[in-house]
């Protein structure tokens, strides 16, 4: 019995030892697997409970090992993905105050990958002070459950100073009570993007500053002409508010003619998308006034759509200046084309670029023979037409001179040449003035002075000689009377000459203000004039063909009498061979006014048409070589007097057949 108990005890002891050994193997397998040995197995088998437990443990270890391998591979792929996408990961254990930072997170901020000292630093400590308040507010909103995800863009301070722009996102892990105990997130470096955004913002601000700063209107419009963008210059220049103009068509602000042009351009775009428009347009401002703008419009393609981009430059001031310039040019052209003086423009190369009509009339040279040719050739042509060659341009800034033309008619021309203002090579303008009349007047004045001196000297010499004879000798009464009569007659001639000069001077100075006009008959005045004029009986015969008149005229009787005397005196003087001097009457009506004419006709030497045309010129004498006395002032004086009577003088004459002078006077109407 004791042996049996001992055997049983031995069996129990052996079983316990075997069981303990098998349990120990199970324990070591679990410990080794926990230590990371994925290949460990317990190897416990059998039909018993421990055998079945061992089999199941080995199966579990095999499954766990496979899953651990998959997890390891997944983690490795995740790490590689994080490294490849340049993302830093952080794991913040909120209650423990510890944060895990991935190697990439560290390197982004300038820390070493193996630096573990920062794991005890909350990431909020590295937030840029200016961003901390905003980031804290977003974080608290997420931790309190107000937002599903924490997302923020801000700056983190780097290890060496400075900062890094990051985009950070994270999600809180919560306990059963909903409290956040852990937060895992990712960090992305967005510095380059933020710098690009900042540069873009600055560019937009600069672009906007340019748009708002320029004085031209800058706009965009769709293909129907509707504004989609306008700068403030539109409102400044037109008075139309930008906000109200957006969506409106440009052509609605244009004058009708210009709106049609712009509408045609919009139609052209449909056929030729790259078409452009460069044109001056008139835009009505807010007050309805038209302003000129220079429009430059191009097409552009934005997001696949064709849009119009254009600039409108205000050219109103330029248009006004152009209009003033055109008016000035019109005035200049009118002066050049209608003026009596000649003008020649010469370019810096010495080529004639312009001659005005007066020059062609003056010289007889057609425009085609002058323009485009050298000035030297023009000078040669003028020499061929006259007496000398003018040298218009020399080394001087200005020059002048005279030359005479024989063809197409005799002319005396004074010219002046001036260099045009400016720098470098300059052109010239040549001014030519016909001074033939002035030269003739000078000649006539010289002739007058010579004649007047002669006319004055003749009576003066007679008066002096006869007076000297009377003073130095004794004469018979009859001889003495004859000498005194001669002195009287010569004195009278001298007084008449002086009176004519004084009369012309008074007319010029007073304009006829000293005339004494009265309505009266002409016959008494005519008879007094005839009585005052001496007609040599031996050579001249006065014939009166004068009717009895009742018409009256408004004249100064003394001045009209002087006119008749001057005409009668000429009739006698310019018929040296004698003959008949006839006084007759004529009538005519002009513009509803009746005129009566005093006609004085002679049978003298007469005048040519050229002489007749100049008979009223002062100092002019038609015949200066026949010894006929006169000053050339008589008919000029008659003409001036008749103008003040609202009348006129008509001269009919032919060489060798005599002259008829008609003094036409307006008849005063009876009811006047």
Q: Is the pLDDT of residue 85 over 60?
A: no
User: Per mean pLDDT, which range of 247-261, 439-453, 458-472, 530-544 is the poorest?
Assistant: 439-453
Structure token digits, residue 424: 């470098």
| pLDDT for position 211 | 64
> What is the residue-averaged pLDDT of the chain?
83
Report yes or no: 661 and 650 within 8 Å, Cβ to Cβ.
yes
pLDDT at position 512 over 60: no
Give φ, ψ of 77 to 5 degrees: -65, -40
Q: Order of strands across the sheet with 98-101?
A: 98-101, 87-93, 180-189, 163-174, 150-157
Q: Taking the CA of residue 510 as centre, how many other CA atoms within 13 Å lie in the half-sphere pointing to its CB?
A: 12
- Asked if residue 45 has pLDDT above 80, the reply is no
What are 528-548's pLDDT values in tens digits? 888 877 788 788 889 999 998
Looking at residue 661, the DSSP 8-state letter turns out to be E
Secondary structure of residue 92 in the 3-state scheme: strand
Instruction: Name the strands in the sheet holding 398-405, side by side, starting at the edge strand that comes first in the sequence.
Output: 352-355, 342-346, 428-434, 411-419, 398-405
pLDDT at 395 over 60: no
More confident residue, 587 or 35: 587
Number of Cβ within a 10 Å radius of residue 10? 10
Contacts 24+ apart (CB under 8 A), 48-55: 50/19, 50/22, 50/23, 50/26, 53/26, 54/22, 54/25, 54/26
pLDDT, tens digit, 9 for 90 and up, residues 409-443: 888 899 998 888 877 677 889 999 988 888 877 77
pLDDT at position 259, please?
94
Mean pLDDT lowest among 22-36, 99-113, 198-212, 275-289? 22-36
393 neighbors 375 (Cβ within 8 angstroms)? yes
Strand, coil or helix: 103: helix
Query: 48-62, 480-494, 535-549, 556-570: which has the minimum mean pLDDT?
Result: 48-62
Q: How many helices (H) and strands (E) does the chain have?
A: 17, 22
C-alpha neighbours within 13 Å on the C-beta side of residue 295: 24
pLDDT range class, residue 90, cuts 50, 70, 90: confident
Quote the pTM value: 0.43
CA angle at residue 242 from 241 to 248, to 5 degrees? 100
Model confidence band, residue 26 (pLDDT cutoffs 50, 70, 90)? low
Mean pLDDT of 619-642: 75
Confidence of residue 314 (pLDDT cuts 50, 70, 90): very high
**Cis before 436 (ω within 30):** no
Average pLDDT over residues 296-325: 90
């Amino acid at each position: 019995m004791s042996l049996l108990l001992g055997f049983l005890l031995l069996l129990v002891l052996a079983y316990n030892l075997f069981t303990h050994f098998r349990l120990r193997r199970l324990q070591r397998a679990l410990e080794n697997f926990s230590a990371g040995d994925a290949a460990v197995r317990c190897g416990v088998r059998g039909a018993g409970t421990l055998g079945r437990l061992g089999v199941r443990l080995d199966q579990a270890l095999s499954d766990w090992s496979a899953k651990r391998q998959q997890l390891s591979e997944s983690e490795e792929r995740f790490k590689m993905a994080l490294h490849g996408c340049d993302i830093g990961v952080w794991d913040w254990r909120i209650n423990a105050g510890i944060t895990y930072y991935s190697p990439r997170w560290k390197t982004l901020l300038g820390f070493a990958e193996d630096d573990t000292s920062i794991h005890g630093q909350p990431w909020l400590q590295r937030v840029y002070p200016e961003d901390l308040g905003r980031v804290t507010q977003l974080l608290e909103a997420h931790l309190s459950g107000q937002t599903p995800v924490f997302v923020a863009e801000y700056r983190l301070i780097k290890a060496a100073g400075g900062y890094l722009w990051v985009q950070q996102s994270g999600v809180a892990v919560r306990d059963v009570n909903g409290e956040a105990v852990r937060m895992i997130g990712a960090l992305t470096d967005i510095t380059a993007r933020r710098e690009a955004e900042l540069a873009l913002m600055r560019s937009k601000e600069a672009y906007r500053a340019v748009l708002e700063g320029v004085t031209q209107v800058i706009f965009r419009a769709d293909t129907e002409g509707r504004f989609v963008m306008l700068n403030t210059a539109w409102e400044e220049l037109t008075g139309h508010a930008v906000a109200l103009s957006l969506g409106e068509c440009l052509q609605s602000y244009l004058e009708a003619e210009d709106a049609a042009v712009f509408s045609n351009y919009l139609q052209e775009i449909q056929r030729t998308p790259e078409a452009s428009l460069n044109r001056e347009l008139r835009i009505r401002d807010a007050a309805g006034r038209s302003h000129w703008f220079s429009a430059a419009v191009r097409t552009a393609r934005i997001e696949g759509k064709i849009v119009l981009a254009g600039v409108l430059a205000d050219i109103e001031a330029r248009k006004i200046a152009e209009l003033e310039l055109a008016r000035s040019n019109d005035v200049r052209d009118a002066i050049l084309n209608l003026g009596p003086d000649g003008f020649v423009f010469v370019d810096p190369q010495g080529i004639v670029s312009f001659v005005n009509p007066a020059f062609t009339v003056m010289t007889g040279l057609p425009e085609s023979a002058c323009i485009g040719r050298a000035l030297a050739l023009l000078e040669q042509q003028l020499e061929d037409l006259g007496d000398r060659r003018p040298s218009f341009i020399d080394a001087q800034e200005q020059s002048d001179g005279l030359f005479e033309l024989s063809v197409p008619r005799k002319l005396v021309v004074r010219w002046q040449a001036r260099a045009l203002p400016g720098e470098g090579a300059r052109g010239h303008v040549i001014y030519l003035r016909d001074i033939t009349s002035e030269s003739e007047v000078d000649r006539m004045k010289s002739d007058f002075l010579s004649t007047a001196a002669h006319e004055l000297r003749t009576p003066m010499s007679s008066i002096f000689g006869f007076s000297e004879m009377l003073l130095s000798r004794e004469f018979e009464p009859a001889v003495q009377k004859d000498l005194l009569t001669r002195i009287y007659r010569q004195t009278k001639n001298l007084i008449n000459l002086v009176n004519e000069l004084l009369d012309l001077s008074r007319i010029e100075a007073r304009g006829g203000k000293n005339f004494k006009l009265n309505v009266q008959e002409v016959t008494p005045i005519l008879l007094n004039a005839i009585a005052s004029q001496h007609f040599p009986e031996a050579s001249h015969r006065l014939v009166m063909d004068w009717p009895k008149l009742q018409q009256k005229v408004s004249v100064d009787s003394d001045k009209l009498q002087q006119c008749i005397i001057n005409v009668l005196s000429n009739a006698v003087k310019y018929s040296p061979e004698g003959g008949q001097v006839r006084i007759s009457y004529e009538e005519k009506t002009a513009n509803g006014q009746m005129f009566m004419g005093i006609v004085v006709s002679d049978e003298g030497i007469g005048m040519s048409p050229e002489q007749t045309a100049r008979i009223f010129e002062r100092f002019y004498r038609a015949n200066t070589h026949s010894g006929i006395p006169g000053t050339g002032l008589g008919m000029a004086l008659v003409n001036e007097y008749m103008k003040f009577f609202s009348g006129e003088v008509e001269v009919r004459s032919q060489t060798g057949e005599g002259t008829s002078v008609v003094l036409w006077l307006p008849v005063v109407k009876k009811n006047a």
